[in-house]
Amino acid sequence: MGSAYIFTLQPTFTQGLILGQASILFLLFLILKYLFFDTDPERSSRKASYPPKIDFDSSEEDVTAARFNLDSFEATKREGDSESSEWLNVFVQQVLNAYRAKLRDGLSGPDGDEIARRRVEEFANKMRPAGLLDYIKVHSVSLGSSAPRLSNARIRRDLSPGSDPEIDYDMSYVDTVAISISTSVLFNYPFPSFARLPVSLTISLSLFAAPVRLTPPHPHSPHPTITFTLPSPHSDFTLDIKTTSLMGSRAKLEDVPKVHELIQNQIRRVIMDKGTWKVVLPGLSSVSQVKEDMKMERELADETFS
């Protein structure tokens, strides 16, 4: 009577195949865990070994390219009754300058930069998904110096009687707004705190251009606001951003195209989802009241399309 053994001193083809596949999987596990991932739970992204830096040397070149793209964008816009918007551009510039000064506590130079960096870092960690990302370390921030410019104002005359007046603009924003961060992507499978993938990113915006619709406050509205809206969720807009990335612990992957594509698509999605911005008028409404109005508008829109 013969005996059957799973393993013998003379391995069969099936045994060799199983051992070969197991060896490959084990080798892949070691490469990922000890070459690209960071397995030390005490290690934090706050002590990044390769903190990214914002490259200001290329800003002039980026702005030149952005202005070229802006000229191409504006050349495609329709002609119509236009009014000067220079007064509004001066107003917007001063408003943004006031916010920049507030973020820096009115300080200039390195002291103001550090205050702005800490505030942006605090906000980023309030918003981060704790189960997916480790602590976000913000290394540097550039708040820019320019402001969105509105041009080619066109008063809409095709509105129904009693509707709110609307003004269409062509908006362009050319600047060097940038942020440089490092963090780690957390892997909790097959068990919690299995590994972490260190990631460093620098994201800089050079151009954003889009059509914008301004709706003044209605006198009989319960909570009057000034509303800026992208005319439709699928409006064409120009978004030029530059990203640099480093991924990995010991071995590092540099400037992965998929990372740039993911970041750009995410920013575009947020812009389309948040296509309406309301400015609360002091003494006429409060932020909480306007938020409640927007919530009710979204619920009404969902019921309409459902």
Q: Residue 65 pLDDT > 60, yes or no?
A: no
- pLDDT tier for residue 268 given thresholds of 50, 70 and 90: confident
- pLDDT tier for residue 149 given thresholds of 50, 70 and 90: very high
Eight-state DSSP code of residue 54 = -
Q: What pLDDT score was predicted for residue 102? A: 93
Q: In which residue are the tokens 């439709």 written?
A: 232
Query: Which stretches of the chain are DSSP H helices?
Result: 13-31, 59-75, 86-103, 109-127, 257-273, 287-305
Q: Residue 261 pLDDT > 60, yes or no?
A: yes
Model confidence pLDDT, tens digit, residues 216-250:
888 788 888 888 888 665 567 888 999 999 888 77
Q: In which residue are the tokens 């605090």 written?
A: 122
Q: Residue 45 pLDDT > 50, yes or no?
A: no
Q: Where are the domains of the chain?
A: 81-305
Please tell me the least confidently modeled range out of 51-65, 197-211, 262-276.
51-65
Q: What pLDDT score was predicted for residue 140? A: 92
Question: Which tokens go with 234?
Answer: 């699928």
Mean pLDDT to the nearest integer, 176-187: 89
Q: Residue 53 pLDDT > 90, yes or no?
A: no
